[in-house]
């Protein structure tokens, strides 16, 4: 996948990190730039399968919908529904238990906005989104427990 891929780690277990990342409605509490999330559809397990996001972008406030797939507790992946602000977006979180405890996290993101933005700015935005999300996810997961 083209785009930005970053690694992080946390003392929290993969199960805790997965649950934090899967709780989309709570993103405005910890994910930098996410101002609102509306869960539109849920699966039989109660997890969101489709959600609408509003984020404060570099140039403007951006709204988009994502569809989700889950592989508990290893991976959460998403893809955008094409819209006015986002032509295409895909990404994933991957979680792997660390030897001795904790979790290695991989976050990958590729965004193609529906408006004109120079490639270098898009890549810079991707990097900043990914770095901020990893920091927020780690912090929130460690607050939730390191079990």
**Confidence check: pLDDT of 147 > 50:** no
| Span 70-86, pLDDT tens digits | 999 999 999 999 999 99
What integer is the mean pLDDT of 82-96? 96
What integer pLDDT is reported at residue 110 of this predicted model?
Answer: 94
Domains located in the chain, CATH noted: 4-23+68-144 (3.30.530.20)
Radius of gyration of the chain from its Cα atoms, rounded to whole angstroms: 15
Task: Encode 1-38: b = buried (16+ Cβ within 10 Å), e = exposed.
Answer: eebbbbebebbbbbbbbbbbbbbbeebeebbebbeebe
Q: Which of 17-31, 85-99, 114-128 has the lowest mean pLDDT?
A: 114-128
Per-residue pLDDT at 123 exceeds 90:
no
The residues with which 55 forms a beta bridge, in sequence order, are 34, 62
pLDDT of 32-76, one tens digit each?
A: 989 999 999 999 999 999 999 999 876 678 999 999 999 999 999
CB 99 within 8 A of CB 93: no
Report the pLDDT value the prediction gives residue 77, as an integer from 0 to 100.
Answer: 98
């Amino acid at each position: 996948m083209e785009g930005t891929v970053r690694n992080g780690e946390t003392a929290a277990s993969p199960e805790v990190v997965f649950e934090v990342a899967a709780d989309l409605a709570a993103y405005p509490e910890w994910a930098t730039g996410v101002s609102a999330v509306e869960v539109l559809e849920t699966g039989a397990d109660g997890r969101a399968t489709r959600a609408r996001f509003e984020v404060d972008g570099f140039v403007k406030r951006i709204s988009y919908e994502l569809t989700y797939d889950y592989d508990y507790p290893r991976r959460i992946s998403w893809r955008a529904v094409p819209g006015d602000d986002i032509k295409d977006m895909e990404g994933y979180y991957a979680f792997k238990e660390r030897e001795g405890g904790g979790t290695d996290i991989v976050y990958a993101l590729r965004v193609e906005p529906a408006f004109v933005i120079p490639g270098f700015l898009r890549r810079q935005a991707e990097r900043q989104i990914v770095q901020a999300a990893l920091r927020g996810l780690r912090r929130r997961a460690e607050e939730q427990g390191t079990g």
